[in-house]
Amino acid sequence: MKIDMGKPRGVLHQRLGQGEFKHARRAPSSALAGLVEHYWHVAWDLRGLPAQQQETLPHPNVQFVVEHGCTALYGLHTGRFMRRLKGQGQVFGIKFKAGGFHPFYGAPVSRLQDRSLDPRQVFGADAAGFESDILAGANVDAMAEVAERLLLAHLPTADPNIGLVSELVADIATDRSLTSVVALVQRTGLAKRALQRLFNQYAGVGPKWVINRYRLHEAIAQLQTGTPVVWAELALQLGYFDQAHFIHDFRKLVGRRPAEYLRAQAQPSG
């Protein structure tokens, strides 16, 4: 399960300051590959150092997050996620594929938007000792094996809509021509309302939200390269009507204008 999965997208501060940080990801087994995007593990050691803030942009995925004392299932987070890191700690997570949590949950995933859920409501008594079993793991591979056992014990029946939604979300994330719901309707042949119902049921949010968020993920990725940017051209590449609409969306989600974010990226960390 140990493979190179590339650099994670949506992390606003790729270079943190002083301290020790570790981030690892592992792919699921073939039996769970249609439901789970990957397993992830983050650890930090800031003992004797100032706390540092990390920020990430949302993805259209449900996450099963394991951390001492606050383990929970988290629905799609619509805003910027901020976490202040201090001292020493670690977090393990299961990132379900877009649509992949629906068969475990058995209800519209949109109900979990900006909400968390006690894992016992989905996995029953098997979730009772899950936190301690995960955190007892010597490394991310051992933790992933514990997660695999839990999910395989509750493996749902096959649902073709999961693959369809996952594929559509992956296409939106990688295909720059998919910059509108109209383009997605033309790609799939599905009616707009049918597409919206499908996304809300399985991904937890409509296709327009997914398209807008991945446009901003792409913008962040380009800005993090440090390459000079012509803002009007970038806005058009991402499917925006004009530069003003792009700047408005960027600032609303990221908390600063694109030019301000670009300048911050050029500054040495910590």
Q: Are residues 138 and 259 in the same domain?
A: no
Q: What are phi and psi of 69, to 5 degrees?
A: 85, -5
User: Does residue 185 sit within a domain?
Assistant: yes
Per-residue pLDDT of the chain (270 residues; tens, 9 = 90+): 555 455 666 677 666 667 888 889 999 999 999 999 999 999 999 998 988 888 888 889 999 999 999 999 999 988 888 888 889 999 999 999 999 999 999 999 999 999 999 999 999 999 999 999 999 999 999 999 999 999 999 999 999 999 999 999 999 999 988 989 999 999 999 999 999 999 999 999 999 999 999 999 999 988 888 778 899 999 998 889 899 999 999 999 999 999 998 888 766 444
Range of the structural domain that residue 184 is part of: 160-266
**Are 147 and 27 spatial neighbours (Cβ–Cβ below 8 Å)?**
no
Q: Are residues 133 and 30 in the same domain?
A: yes
User: Does residue 14 sit within a domain?
Assistant: no
Calculate the alpha carbon distances from 202 to 26, 46, 110, 123, 149 in Å.
Answer: 23, 38, 8, 18, 23
**Are 9 and 217 spatial neighbours (Cβ–Cβ below 8 Å)?**
yes
Q: Are residues 24 and 148 in the same domain?
A: yes
The single-letter code of the amino acid at 57 is L
Give the count of domains, the chain. Answer: 2
CATH code at position 221? 1.10.10.60
Q: Are residues 135 and 26 in the same domain?
A: yes
